[in-house]
Structure 1
């Protein structure tokens, strides 16, 4: 299963639409059989080709991550750590302030740095996201977050907080 989380603070209709269109296209071409589940938050766009919930409790959320072969998320540090803790590769896509998806572009600024983390794959465009999805079987998870490989992430968080 592919699990998609938009977060709860801001809508992320662009990500939801990208995934919904990808699923529809792959079903039409008989290329896609893996289930997709989305956590939508307060967005307006409702997917037509996937299962979804607006909000999930922490236990259900973590269970979806554990069950997933790939976790797709906004570029949030908490989700990166959760993916590492559960041994699941994560694709992060940044929100864009110019599209009303966030207050500023800190997610775009952190994307290059995030791409250096083991098990973290980044996409800033629909094409990049689809490319990663099409090769999802080759994506590998990073080490658990208690490993020292997260020291740069922790240092980065300290610098921006």
Structure 2
């Protein structure tokens, strides 16, 4: 399953949904595509659309997804990184009225450069073609390290 996440930004972001439909058709994808679209208005017969999911359902969808395609929101990206997901990020573009500035490009640039995500600025075809061969850099936080140490101590 492919999960698309548009976040909670008030500005619409139909471009990412349209690009996903184009990529799915060009690549002959047959798997289910589910999208959390927030305030974006969009109609699709290919993508299952819902404005928002309850948190536990949202986290379950992330865990079940083969790949997550998301806007460049830090919260969504870091939740997916923490879950060990393969992530394609298409940052919202201020030029298209998708956000008030282009800070999502800056975040995505760093995460893509460091090997955590694949970045797709205009099209999803290339990124979705590469995703199966992409091995994201593992995301480790201080809390993850502490949990491993605690488990080790408990096992002694």
TM range, normalised to the smaller chain? Answer: 0.7 to 0.9
Query: SS at the partner of 2:113?
Result: coil
Distance in 1, Cα, partners of 2:142 & 2:54: 27
TM-aligned CA deviation for residue 33 of structure 1: 2.1
Unaligned runs of 5+ in 1: 149-161
Match of 2:20 in 1: 19
1:3 is the counterpart of 2:3: yes
- Aligned length, in residue pairs: 142
Match of 1:157 in 2: none
Distance in 2, Cα, partners of 1:109 & 1:19: 22
More deviation in 86-95 or 139-148? 139-148
Contact 2:116 2:139 (C-alpha < 8 Å) held by counterparts: no
Larger radius of gyration: 2
Q: Which runs of 4+ in 1 moved over 6 A?
A: none
Q: Structure 2-normalised TM-score?
A: 0.82
Aligned CA RMSD, in angstroms, stands at 1.8
Match of 1:135 in 2: 130
Contact 2:62 2:68 (C-alpha < 8 Å) held by counterparts: yes
TM-aligned CA deviation for residue 116 of structure 1: 2.4
Higher RCO (Cα < 8 Å, 6 or more apart): 2
